[in-house]
C-alpha cells in the first residue's frame, strides 16, 4: 500500500515537470529592450530670396531726382560755402513775399475757383472768364494739348473746347497748373535743366497727391493738388535765392549739394509763406507745417500725407521717364508704399503714359519649402 502511494506521488511530480516544460517551450521569447533613437532636427529652411528689383525709399527717389535736376552726382555740401548758406537763409526770411521771387496770387484765381465749384456756372461763362487773361489762355491750351490731358488726336485750340473736353473738374486742375507754370520758366544758370525737371516733378506730384487725397485719406483732391503746386513754387524761390547769393560772389562756383541742402531745409517753410500770402486754407498751411524739418509729426494731416506721397510718386515717374528707374523698380517701390490696386495703376499709367509693369514674382513661401 505504501509502495503504491509513493509511486503515485512520483508520477504526479513527473506530470507537473512535463507540463512546466511544455509551457516554457510555447511562451514567446522575451522582447529585446529597444534603446530610444536620438531625434535629429530637420534641416534649416532656406532663407527667402529677393530676386525682384529693390524698392526706393522716398529719400532715395528725391535724391536721384536732385541729381537729375542738377546734372551731377551729389556729395556733401561744400563747407567753405557756409557764408553763402547763411546769406541765403537770411534772404529767405522775406523772399517768399517779394515779387522778385514769388508770384502774387493771380487775380483771377479766386474767381475762377469759385466759378468752377459752382454748378450754376455755365461752360460759356467759365470760358469767357478764362479768356480775360491771355497769358492764362496760352498756358492752359498748352497743357490741354499735353500727353497728360489730351484725350484724342484732335488738338484743343480754344478755351471753350478745353472746357468741353476736360470737364469742369479737370479744368479746375488745369487752371491751377496753368496759373503757376510761368514761374518755372526761369534760367537755371549753371544748372540749365533744373527748372524743367522741377516743373515736371511738381506737375506729376500734384496729380499723384490728388489721387491719394481722393482714394486713401478722403480729403479734398483739389487742395492736395494746389498744395503740391505751391510746394514747387517754394522750390523755385529757394533755388533762385541761392543762385543770387552765389552771383554776388564772383569766382565762387555754385555748389549743387549746398543748394540741395537749402532746398531740403527751407522749401516747405517758404511754400507755407506763399500759401499764407495767397489766403489759402488753414488745412493747406497745416500740411506744409508737416513737411518742415524739425517739425515733422508722427501723425501728419491727411493733406500732409497726400503731399508726401505725391512728391514720392512724382519723383518715381520723372525718373522712370528718363530711364533712371525701370518699371520693375518703380512697381516695387509703389508696392512697398501700399500703392496697389486699380486706382494706383491708373494713376501710374496717367503719370507715365504707359501701363505699369507686372508685380515681381513673390518669394517662395514656407509652405512651398516644406513640400
- pLDDT score at 360: 55
- From first to last of the 371 residues of the chain, give the pLDDT tens digit: 555 656 555 565 555 555 465 555 554 555 555 454 454 554 443 444 455 678 999 999 999 999 999 999 999 999 999 999 999 999 999 998 888 887 777 676 677 667 656 666 666 777 777 777 777 787 778 777 877 777 677 788 888 787 777 776 677 777 778 778 888 888 888 899 999 999 999 999 999 999 999 889 888 888 899 999 999 999 999 999 999 999 999 889 999 999 999 999 999 999 999 999 988 889 999 999 999 987 656 788 999 999 999 999 999 999 999 999 999 999 999 998 888 888 888 889 888 887 655 555 555 444 443 44
Q: Is the dihedral of CA 9, 11, 13, 16 positive or negative?
A: negative
DSSP result, 69-133: HHTS---SPPGGGHHHHHHHHHHHHHHTT-TTTSPPPPTTHHHHHHHHH-TT--HHHHHHHHHT-
353: left (phi over 0), alpha (psi -120 to 50) or beta: left
295 inside domain: yes
Here the cell at position 80 is 567753405
- pLDDT score at 358: 57
Phi–psi pair at 149, nearest 5 degrees: -100, -25
DSSP result, 146-197: STTT--SSS---SHHHHHHHHHHHHHHHHHHHHHHGGGG-S--TT-TTHHHH
155 inside domain: no
5 inside domain: no
201 inside domain: yes
With a CB cutoff of 8 Å and minimum separation 6, the contacts of 148 are: 203, 207, 350
* Total of domains in the chain: 1
17 inside domain: no
Domain at 227, CATH number: 1.10.3210
186 inside domain: yes
- Which domain range does residue 74 map to? 58-99+181-352
150 inside domain: no
228 inside domain: yes
Amino acid at each position: 500500500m505504501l509502495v503504491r502511494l509513493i509511486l503515485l506521488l512520483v508520477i504526479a511530480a513527473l506530470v507537473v515537470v512535463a507540463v512546466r516544460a511544455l509551457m516554457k517551450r510555447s511562451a514567446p521569447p522575451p522582447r529585446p529592450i529597444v534603446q530610444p533613437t536620438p531625434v535629429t532636427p530637420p534641416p534649416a529652411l532656406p532663407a527667402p530670396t529677393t530676386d525682384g528689383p529693390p524698392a526706393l525709399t522716398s529719400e532715395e527717389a528725391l535724391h536721384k531726382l536732385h541729381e537729375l535736376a542738377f546734372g551731377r552726382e551729389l556729395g556733401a555740401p561744400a563747407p567753405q560755402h557756409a557764408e553763402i548758406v547763411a546769406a541765403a537763409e537770411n534772404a529767405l526770411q522775406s523772399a517768399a513775399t517779394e515779387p522778385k521771387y514769388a508770384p502774387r496770387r493771380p487775380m483771377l484765381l479766386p474767381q475762377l475757383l469759385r466759378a468752377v465749384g459752382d454748378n450754376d456756372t455755365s461752360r460759356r461763362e467759365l470760358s469767357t472768364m478764362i479768356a480775360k487773361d491771355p497769358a492764362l489762355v496760352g498756358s492752359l491750351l498748352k497743357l490741354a494739348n499735353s500727353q497728360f490731358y489730351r484725350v484724342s488726336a484732335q488738338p484743343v485750340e480754344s478755351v471753350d473746347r478745353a472746357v468741353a473736353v476736360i470737364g469742369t473738374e479737370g479744368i479746375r486742375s488745369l487752371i491751377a497748373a496753368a496759373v503757376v507754370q510761368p514761374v518755372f520758366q526761369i534760367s537755371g544758370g549753371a544748372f540749365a535743366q533744373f527748372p524743367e525737371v522741377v516743373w515736371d516733378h511738381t506737375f506729376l506730384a500734384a496729380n499723384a497727391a490728388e489721387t491719394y487725397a481722393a482714394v486713401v485719406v478722403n480729403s479734398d483732391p483739389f487742395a492736395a493738388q494746389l498744395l503740391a503746386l505751391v510746394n514747387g513754387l517754394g522750390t523755385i524761390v529757394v533755388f533762385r535765392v541761392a543762385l543770387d547769393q552765389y552771383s554776388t560772389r564772383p569766382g565762387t562756383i555754385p555748389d549743387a549739394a549746398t543748394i540741395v541742402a537749402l532746398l531740403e531745409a527751407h522749401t516747405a517753410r517758404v511754400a507755407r509763406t506763399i500759401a499764407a500770402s495767397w489766403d489759402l486754407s488753414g488745412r493747406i498751411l497745416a500740411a506744409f507745417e508737416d513737411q518742415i524739418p524739425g517739425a515733422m509729426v508722427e501723425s501728419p494731416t491727411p493733406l500732409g500725407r497726400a503731399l508726401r506721397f505725391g512728391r514720392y510718386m512724382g519723383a518715381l515717374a520723372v525718373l522712370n521717364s528718363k530711364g533712371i528707374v525701370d518699371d520693375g523698380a518703380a512697381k516695387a517701390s509703389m508696392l512697398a508704399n501700399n500703392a496697389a490696386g486699380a486706382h494706383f495703376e491708373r494713376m501710374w499709367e496717367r503719370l507715365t503714359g504707359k501701363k505699369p509693369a507686372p508685380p515681381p514674382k513673390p518669394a517662395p513661401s514656407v509652405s512651398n519649402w516644406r513640400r
